[in-house]
Amino acid sequence: QVQLVESGGGLVQAGGSLRLSCTVSGTAFSINAMGWYRQAPGKQRELVAVITSGDSTNYADSVKGRFTISRDNAKNIVYLQMNNLKPEDTAVYYCNKDWTQQKLAPWGQGTQVTVSS
């Protein structure tokens, strides 16, 4: 079965940075488009960044220019570098396959990102 383990969240001040990691096991990682998602309390889960098997990327307008997604196929890890964080970025962040192209794997526990003003 596919397992997704997110890490790297924490509490930061507005303008700060965090680097999230997602370790993937149980699937052919390198051929899958992967994404980072987030869910704030009372809001639906949203896709914020995608990286394809060919390393092209796409971002939600809300994070474009501030977040960078990358992948290390040798280590089966997807990263999300988050810079210039804003309070509205506060959410639980999850990784998974790109739900516009692939069937989702079971969600991991996510990692909490909290940005103070």
Could you read off the pLDDT of 59-81 as tens digits, one per residue? 999 999 999 999 999 999 999 99
- Residue 31: per-residue pLDDT: 81
Residue ranges of the chain with per-residue pLDDT less than 50: none
- Residue 86: per-residue pLDDT: 98
- Residue 106: per-residue pLDDT: 95
Residues 6+ apart with CB under 8 A from 64: none
- d(CA 82, CA 1) in angstroms, rounded, equals 29
- Residue 6: per-residue pLDDT: 98
* Cα angle 78-79-84, degrees, rounded to a multiple of 5: 155
Structure tokens given for 105: 């794997």
- Residue 1: per-residue pLDDT: 84
